[in-house]
Copies of this chain bind each other. A is one copy, B any other.
């Protein structure tokens, strides 16, 4: 099994957490804690106690918990980007490429042993519940200028370019893709917590396939020539 790691934007951290043992424990344990407590209740103090370190040490890696959250979520989108490249390779038909990308987006994420200290099932739940909070802030423009949202924008661009191949005349390729990216996560959340907002039922296997069917149909119908 190849040893790989993603190079994330340097602005996200003060010291690269992938390079040290403490950094790796910060990543690993923060994923568990944010998943469990939610981002609002999560603090560096609680994290430091859990990993038996100190608040000050955690602050040497990340400026604040908001940057740590963006770091984790950027990791997730970078990982999906990489999975999409795999899924799409050798497919020549853009419709097939679109379907394969959508599948990667929607499928339930399993632990990937390539990345020892990242537990992807927890991270997927974090992305569903917390991703919007990374950019719905007053610092969005400053953060964006620093390139903190590049991995997400890159996925959007990649799928939008497939959409353009399917129908070069469709005027809203980025909007339809960002709509799909949004709703993929929100429909899963609604299914679980606000079921009257969705027709996807929260059933272990079925809700991923239902969600896929829903998304595929509205995207393909939207962009059809």
Distance (Å) between the CB of A181 and the closest chain B CB? 8
Interface footprint category on A: 35 or more
- Chain copies in complex: 2
Chain A interface helix/strand/loop/mixed: helix
Beyond A136-B189, A153-B194, A182-B183, 11 additional contacts (C-beta under 8 Å) are A41-B138, A132-B132, A157-B196, A173-B199, A174-B196, A175-B187, A175-B190, A176-B218, A179-B179, A179-B218, A221-B222
Q: Can you name 10 A-B pairs with beta carbons within 8 Å?
A: A38-B138, A130-B136, A135-B194, A175-B197, A175-B198, A179-B218, A182-B182, A182-B183, A182-B186, A218-B221
Distance (Å) between the CB of A132 and the closest chain B CB? 5
CA distance A144 to B190 in the complex (A): 11
Whether A141 contacts B193 by the Cβ 8 Å rule is yes
Q: Known: A172-B214, A176-B218. Is A156-B196 also a contact (CB below 8 A)?
A: yes
Q: Known: A38-B137, A221-B221, A222-B218. Is A187-B178 also a contact (CB below 8 A)?
A: yes
